[in-house]
Amino acid sequence: MKKIFMPAVAAIAIMLSACGNNDITLKKAFEDHFLIGTAMNGMQISGTDPQALPFIASQFNSVTAENEMKWERIHPEPGVYNFGLADSIVDFAEQNGMKVIGHTLVWHSQTPRWVFQDSLGNQLTRDALLERMREHIHTVVGHYKGRVLGWDVVNEALNEDGTLRNTKWLEIIGEDYIEKAFIFANEADPDAELYYNDYNIEEPAKLAGVIPIIENLQAKGIRIDGVGIQGHWHLDSPDLAIIDESIGLYGALGIKVMITEMEINVLPTPTRFFGAEISNMGAYLDSLNPYVEGLPDSVQMLLTNRYEEVFRILLKHDDLITRVTFWGVHDGYSWKNGWPIPGRTNYPLLFNRDYTPKPAYDAVIREVKKLK
């Protein structure tokens, strides 16, 4: 039986009244430009936070399962599939007229060790791992056939220098594991869009690695519909010109461009942690967590200006960009509170922990209003 998610009208009205732009929501403001999405998690969809669902329905028109469709959650053991929470997210989205993004099918992280082993714990052969990949993709994508707009088929396959990351997928199958993943996804749902998704791929070295992957798929007649620039950005990096140029270069390949996991980190972070490799963690220091009591006005202004500048670029390319997804509903839900330094208090999104909008929210609304 499907769960029915009824938006709490009163709660929505209270939340919207806090916005400084005539109650214009994000999805309304950007409806003529691109989808505006958010990552959703199990706490929200299970109702633990009663404010979450009505707020998500009011502000966004696209949702991505932050973790509930990853291999370790949806397929934790051989022959065992847990679709419950992911199904609830899809049900919620459909009942509120929202698009669903499936995340993710083939990734080196959050994939159980057994995926690469036989029943005796020995490493699989190439053919055996390809069959396991095919079965997983066909089962998961097939389960949501016709209900998911698009899938992050392969996630984070590259090193920072643009070379292929040394993963079990690459080690056992070889470089064509990416091709096979897209072929299997297309077989499972020919109508769903298929994406390559990665972080730092606006940077020249990594961009130079992504473009040949896309061109190779296209040359072989293997469908790829878009590229996801994750957008795990900072107050002072990457350079705005790099973001601008990369969008144009990807768009020139004839594919859709998306910003898929956007936030702007405000905390001091050593450069070795730039990116989104979840296994790369550092030790806690008070000096790396300076805003426990709240974000100073001076930093709030920097965040506001940064969002304004970034959205100016995104709107410039609204003929190429089809979606911008924030990686969290509000600051309290951001993974940046726990990565790359655990136990910090970060403020990387447009909404405060009490769901009120920040000055950065007003700034991006003002930016889109300039085009009306």
Catalytic residues: 156, 261
Strand-pairing partners, residue 39, are 64
DSSP 257: E
Q: 287 with 224: CB under 8 angstroms?
A: no
Cα separation of 40 and 223, whole Å?
27
DSSP 290: T
Cα separation of 40 and 327, whole Å?
8
Cα separation of 360 and 68, whole Å?
29
Cα separation of 201 and 210, whole Å?
7
For tokens 């961009």, the residue is: 207
Residue type, 305: N
Q: 244 with 316: CB under 8 angstroms?
A: yes
Phi first, then psi: give them for residue 277, nearest 5 degrees: -75, 105
CA distances from 40 to 12, 67, 112, 137, 327 (A): 18, 8, 22, 21, 8
